[in-house]
Amino acid sequence: MLRSLSISSIFAVVTLAVFPAYAQDVAAGEKTFKKCVACHDIGADAKNKVGPALTGVIGRTAGTYAGFKYGSDLVAAGEKGLVWTEEKLAEYLEDPKQFLRDYLGDTGASTKMSFKLKEETARADVAAFLAAQHEATNAPAPSDTAGEVAKVEEPAMSVEDVIAAQEFSEAFLSDPANVEAGKEIWFAQCTHCHGFKAYPGKAPKLKPAKYKPTFVFKRVYKGFKKMPAWKDTYSVDEIRQIVAYVKSPEFSP
Ligand code: HEC
Ligand code: HEC
């Protein structure tokens, strides 16, 4: 009696723990996905960037998104039967090149995706987020949530209005909380292309002394030529914090 009671209470605990954990995975995965958006777009009208659009990637054969020039080994993996599931995707992210080598049994296999995500929980979370996106995209009736997840903020004003509305006081720019928050985003995101860690030649070395804060805001919010727009990834407040970091004395381009 005592024994069966304790077993059923264990079940109760496990069941209770599973559902909230799932919800959290998707939310945490949405955050992790910010590491991907430099190269990957998602959502109904996603475009190919440095990497292929990831709309509906769960359930898709590897290397088949229309209009993207994949590496030949990822295409070969798709031809061999690789279909992206949450599990496969999480595994791939740990080390895309090694994953392809193992999958194809070819030690010379390579990939155009140089990014690795080592942390296991983050990989599972971002895979759960992509799967949830997929469900939202495939839902019979288009729901608000599909757009909501892809767009952090939908400003009521036009892009130009938002840019024109920015003012930067000395107090805002020198607030250590703003500088710190902006710095975190810089190293999570911008250093894919800018700075000493980036592939050479990917993007110009920034010369912050030459920029007005409003110029930095405009470039980051709206993008310019090969510089991606970040307005759908970061809120206006977050982009203002990036500006504070770029204009701060501790910024290292
Ligand atoms: C620095 C750019 C870059 C970053 C950052 C990046 N990727 Fe990629 N990704 C690529 C490229 C390029 C490819 C195409 C690989 C190839 O053709 O060999 C790719 C391919 C993929 C594929 C295979 C898609 C398909 O159609 O078969 C998946 C899935 C993927 N990436 C997921 C992610 C996720 C999730 C993240 C963030 C955790 C991420 N990537 C971050 C550049 C990137
Ligand atoms: C996918 C690569 C990429 C990423 C990621 C990226 N940038 Fe850029 N950025 C560029 C390129 C390329 C240019 C040059 C565009 C041009 O003028 O042709 C540029 C230009 C800029 C400029 C204007 C520089 C000038 O002298 O005109 C600023 C400011 C800037 N980026 C800030 C950022 C910040 C802040 C982030 C992170 C939120 C970021 N960039 C992320 C590629 C990137």
Q: Which of 210, 227, 106 is nearest to 219 (CA)?
A: 227
Per-residue model confidence (pLDDT) at position 192? 86
Per-residue model confidence (pLDDT) at position 135? 66
Q: Look-up: residue for tokens 């307005």? A: 231
Q: How far is the CA of 157 from the centre of ligand 2 (A)?
A: 24
**CATH of range 2-150; options 1.10.760.10, 1.10.10.10, 1.20.120.420, 1.10.287.130:** 1.10.760.10
Ligand 1 pocket, CB under 6 A? 35-36, 38-40, 50-52, 54, 57, 62-63, 65, 70-71, 74, 84, 89, 93, 111-115, 117, 126, 192
| Ligand with minimal distance to 206 CA | 2
Percent of the chain clearing pLDDT 90 (strictly above): 53
Q: How far is the CA of 220 from the centre of ligand 2 (A)?
A: 7
Q: How far is the CA of 164 from the centre of ligand 1 (A)?
A: 34
Q: How far is the CA of 139 from the centre of ligand 2 (A)?
A: 36
Nearest protein Cα to ligand 2, atom 25: 206
Whether ligand 2 lies within 6 angstroms of the CB of 37 is answered as: no
Listed by start position, the domains of the chain span 2-150, 159-246
Q: Which CATH class is domain 159-246?
A: mainly alpha
* pLDDT tens string 151-193: 444 446 788 888 988 999 999 999 999 999 999 999 888 988 8
Percent of the chain clearing pLDDT 70 (strictly above): 81
Overall average pLDDT of the 140-156 stretch? 43
Nearest protein Cα to ligand 2, atom 13: 227
The residue to mutate among 114, 194, 197, having the most atoms of ligand 2 within 8 angstroms of its beta carbon, is 194
pTM: 0.54
Same-fold call for 2-150 versus 159-246: yes
The residue to mutate among 219, 235, 252, having the most atoms of ligand 2 within 8 angstroms of its beta carbon, is 219
Q: How far is the CA of 224 from the centre of ligand 2 (A)?
A: 8
* pLDDT tens string 12-44: 444 444 444 455 688 899 999 998 998 899 988
Q: What is the DSSP code string of the chain?
A: -HHHHHHHHHHHHHHHHHHHHHHHHHHHHHHHGGGTTTT---STT----SS---TT-TTPBTT--TT----HHHHHHHHTT-B--HHHHHHHHH-HHHHHHHHHT-TT---S-------HHHHHHHHHHHHHHHHHHH-SS--HHHHHHH-S---SS-HHHHHHT----HHHHH-HHHHHHHHHHHHHTGGGTSSTTSPTTSSPPP-GGG--HHHHHHHHHH-BTTBPP-TTTS-HHHHHHHHHHHTSTT---
8 Å CB contact between 232 and 149? no
